[in-house]
Amino acid sequence: MYDVVIIGGGVIGGNIARELSKYKLEVCMIEKEEDVSCGCSKANSGIVHGGYADTPGTLKSELCVKGNRMFADLEKDLNFGYRETGSLVLAFSDEEKEHLEKLYNDGIENGVRGLKIIDGEEVIKMEPRLNKEVKWALYCSDAGVCSPYEFTIALIENAIKNGMELRLSEEVIGLEKSGDIFKVKTNKCVIESRYVINAAGVYSDKVSKMIGVDTFDIIPRKGEYIIFNKDQAYLVNKVIFQVPTKKGKGILVTTTYHGNLLIGPDAEQVAHKDDVSTDEKSLREIVDSARKSVSGFDMKKALTSFAGVRPTSSTKDFIVEETDVKGFLNVTGDSPGLTSSPAIAKKVIGILRDSGLKLEENNHFIAYRKPIFIKKDRDFKGDINAIDPKKHIICRCEAVTEAEIVDALNREIKICSIDAIKRRTRAGMGTCQGAFCRPRVRKLIAETLNIKEEDVGGLAPRSSDLHNRVKRMDIMKL
């Protein structure tokens, strides 16, 4: 019997889990995949948004601004990778300037700090490699970038350290309430709990309907990206947006937390919630649109393409509420759900308290979580031998050591796949995309866990055949 069961190990479930682990509660998280952060929390832009893009008065606008302000402290505790960079929304005409003014006014109403509209000259001073045709931009000093899957992993590792139980590879297939107790039926057993939090992302409408709450649908909206080698990151320092379109925030150009150039995403409603395929038409549109902001990227340096599916709600806002079924909470949201997730979790704690859950402080709560991976970019001043005295580099492109991979395997979340190691250490994320290190990672996982190599999980289904596509599309020449 648990006090709270959380369905879904994404960034929203992860933040809720960590907040709950600050109290003396029996908490269990159920995740259908073999690792956490396998939904849209792993495939997004990783932007910590300023909070000017959401309509004032919505939950999105309130929780995005609050969430943004929590990232610096979370990074100090959890070491997942966050950097404040600032952002620019570019305008190329007078009509587009009107959009900037609207965003500015909305931002001020939402309580965003560090906003100003600047002229083209100042924009180019800030970012010399942008398209010189730019006339104005909305600058927001408070925006940043983070590593979204490492954030999710860090939150859940920390929640487990503080007492939460994680059940991986277990799918919730039914829900019932008998008296005050929920029976959560999974593909493996029945789990009892006093409260249930539905944080199932694109499947949150399906889970909600299991208990008879049919108040919203999730409309899956896919976004595709192209990620480039780190030598392309000299092009931009800040997150570069264009004025939003009806479909959303538009195509951005940014340097990721780990120093790759990233362009995307588009927004396309899809029939299947797990559709993370990429296609030439979308990729061409992304390249064309990104080139309006900055044209200098070299398509030969594109590493791969990928896609994520936004859990867009039919209510057009986040859903963070106790439902008509007392003790059952729906918590779901598309962009800026990553930015807002720490504030969403605080709101959930308030709802649980109001609903009668006794929240007694856990005096043994440990806030700190040690990093797995030591960031080794051009600023790395350290000695790699100090990280791994055996001096064993497993992934040459990203300088990932054996010690880092062994550390990842011995953490709170029990993992057993090349994909899980990739998300935690970056082995396989470099120029050769794992061609060199994949067999070595597989061998090391097998040796460390004392299992057969054929029992080590591989990579998640991939959508990218980017190099051949780039040739076919001939976009290198554009």
Q: State the residues that interact with ligand FAD by CB under 6 A.
A: 7-13, 30-33, 38-41, 44-47, 49, 171-172, 199-203, 207, 223, 265, 308-311, 332-339
Q: Which of 166, 403 has the CB closer to ligand FAD?
A: 166
Q: Which of 202, 261 has the CB closer to ligand FAD?
A: 202
C-alpha–C-alpha distance, residues 364 and 333, integer Å: 32
C-alpha–C-alpha distance, residues 106 and 57, integer Å: 10
CB of 93 to ligand FAD, least distance (A): 26
C-alpha–C-alpha distance, residues 445 and 428, integer Å: 14
CB of 319 to ligand FAD, least distance (A): 10
Judge whether 353 and 23 are in contact, CB under 8 Å: no
Q: Which of 308, 434 has the CB closer to ligand FAD?
A: 308
Measured over the CA atoms of residue 313, residue 315, residue 318 and residue 324, the dihedral's sign is: negative
Which one, of 201, 219, 209, 248, lies nearest residue 89 by Cα?
248
> Which residue is nearest to ligand FAD, using beta carbons?
337
Place of tokens 């399906």: 206
Greatest extent of the chain over all pairs of C-alpha atoms, in Å? 67
Residue of 49, 99, 258, 467 marked active site: 49
CB of 36 to ligand FAD, least distance (A): 7
Q: Which of 40, 235 has the CB closer to ligand FAD?
A: 40
Total residues belonging to the chain: 478
Do β-strands 115-119 and 82-84 pair in parallel, antiparallel, or remain unpaired? unpaired
CB of 224 to ligand FAD, least distance (A): 8
CB of 231 to ligand FAD, least distance (A): 23
Measured over the CA atoms of residue 364, residue 30, residue 347 and residue 310, the dihedral's sign is: positive
CB of 67 to ligand FAD, least distance (A): 8
C-alpha–C-alpha distance, residues 38 and 381, integer Å: 32
Judge whether 259 and 303 are in contact, CB under 8 Å: no
Q: Which of 68, 162 has the CB closer to ligand FAD?
A: 68
258 is annotated as an active-site residue: no
Three-point CA angle 353, 354, 355, nearest 5° = 90
Q: Which of 118, 270 has the CB closer to ligand FAD?
A: 270
CB of 1 to ligand FAD, least distance (A): 19
Cβ neighbours, 10 Å, residue 119: 11
Which one, of 282, 274, 273, lies nearest residue 223 by Cα?
282
C-alpha–C-alpha distance, residues 176 and 389, integer Å: 53
Q: Which of 81, 265 has the CB closer to ligand FAD?
A: 265
Exposed, middle or buried: residue 73 (CB in 10 Å: 0-12, 13-18, 19+)? exposed
Judge whether 29 and 164 are in contact, CB under 8 Å: yes
Q: Which 8-state DSSP code applies to residue 462?
A: P
Give φ, ψ of 328 to 5 degrees. -110, 120
Q: Which of 147, 162 has the CB closer to ligand FAD?
A: 147
C-alpha–C-alpha distance, residues 414 and 315, integer Å: 36
C-alpha–C-alpha distance, residues 105 and 53, integer Å: 10
CB of 44 to ligand FAD, least distance (A): 3
Q: Which of 60, 442 has the CB closer to ligand FAD?
A: 60
Judge whether 270 and 224 are in contact, CB under 8 Å: no
Per the structure block, which two tokens stand in for 242?
A: 């264009």
CB of 133 to ligand FAD, least distance (A): 26
Measured over the CA atoms of residue 19, residue 20, residue 22 and residue 23, the dihedral's sign is: positive
Please give the positions annotated as active site.
49
